[in-house]
Amino acid sequence: MHTETTMPKQVEADNSNQSHGIWNFLKYLRAIPFWIIIVCFITLVIGMTVAVFFNAFAKAWNGTILPDGYTLQWFKQAWVSYEIGNYYQITLEIVFSATVISLVLSLPTAYILARRDFPYKNLLIGFFQMPFTLPELVYAIPITSIFYSIGLAETMPGLILVNLIIGIPFSVFILIPFIESLDQRLEWAAQSLGASKFKMLTRIIIPQLIPGITASAINIFIRMFSNFTIILLISGPEKQTLPVMVFSVLSSSGSQPPQMLNSLALSLMFPLLFFAFFSLWFSSYTQRRLGK
C-alpha cells in the first residue's frame, strides 16, 4: 500500500517539474526578440562610434575593413581651420564661471530645503524641477527673447546666466541628500557654544559636504559643457561654445573632408567622455570612503 501511494506522487512531481521546465523555456523564447533588438542597438551605436574614431585618424579608408594608415594630420588641420583652441577657452571660461556661481547659490538653497519646513516648500521644489521636467524649448524661447531685448544675448555674462538655469537646480538636488545625511547634533552643539551661522556654515557644514560639493561641481560642469539648445539660440558668431561651433560646422560641412569633420566631432567627444568617466570614478571613490 505504501508503494502504491508513493508512485502517483512521484509521477505527479515529475510531471510538474517537466511542465515548469517547458514554461521556463517558453519564457526564454519570448525574451529572444527583445534581446536581439537590444544587441542590435548596442552594436549599431558602438559601430558608428568606432567608425568615426577610426575615420578621424585614417589617412585613407576606401572600402576596406581597417584604414590604410593612421595620422594626426586631420586633428591638426581642424584645430587650425576651426580655431578649436579659442572655442575651448570660451567654453571653459563660461562653464567654470557658471559652475562656481551655481555652487555658491545652490549651497544655502539646498540647506534650507533639506533642513527647514515652510509654506509653499513643495512649490519651490517644483520650480527647481522645471528644467528637468519641461522641454528645453518651452523656457529657452522666452529667455532668448528677453535676453535679446535687454542686450544680454551674444555676450559672456548672458551665456553664463543661461547656464545657471541648469547649474543651480541640478546642484541643489545633488546637495540635498548629502545635507540630509549630516549629523544635525553637531550644528546644535555649535549653536549652543555661540557660533554664528556663518561660522557654522564654514567650519561645520562645508567641511562635511566636500564630497557632495565636488560631486555637484563635476556633474554640473559636464551638464553645462554639453549644454546646446539654449546656447545655440543666444550665442553669436564671436561668442559660441564648442558644442554650438561643432554643430554649425557639421550642418554646413560642404566639401570638407570627412576625416576632418570626424576629428572635429572627437574634439568635443573626448572631453565629455573624460569628464563622464571621472565623475563615475569619483562617485565610486566617495562611496568607498563613506563606507556605502
Domain match, 90 and 203 both: yes
**pLDDT given at position 250:** 81
* Phi (first) and psi of residue 70, to 5 degrees: -130, 145
Domain match, 205 and 284 both: yes
Q: Would the pLDDT of 291 be above 70?
A: no
pTM for the model: 0.77
Q: 259, 269, 273: which is closest to 78 by C-alpha?
A: 259
Signed CA dihedral, 209, 212, 218, 222: sign only:
negative
Residue whose grid cell is 555676450: 155
Q: Domain boundary at 38, 70, 102, which? A: 70
Q: Is 82 exposed, middle or buried (0-12, 13-18, 19+ CB in 10 A)?
A: buried
Q: Would the pLDDT of 14 be above 70?
A: no
Average pLDDT for 157-177: 92
Query: Which residue range(s) make up the domain with 61?
Result: 1-70
Average pLDDT for 83-89: 89
Domain match, 85 and 63 both: no
Domain match, 25 and 144 both: no
In the chain, the number of structural domains is 2
- Which parts of 58-118 fold into alpha helices (H)? 73-81, 84-115
Domain match, 140 and 284 both: yes
Phi/psi region, residue 142 (left: phi>0; alpha: psi -120 to 50; beta: rest), is: alpha
Q: Domain boundary at 70, 105, 129, which? A: 70
Domain match, 83 and 46 both: no
What is the CATH classification number for the domain harbouring 133?
1.10.3720.10
Domain match, 27 and 79 both: no
Average pLDDT for 184-205: 81
Question: What's the pLDDT tens digit per position in 124-149?
Answer: 888 888 888 888 888 899 999 999 99
* More confident: 63 or 151: 151
Q: Is 167 exposed, middle or buried (0-12, 13-18, 19+ CB in 10 A)?
A: buried
Eight-class DSSP state of 69: -
Q: Would the pLDDT of 94 be above 90?
A: yes
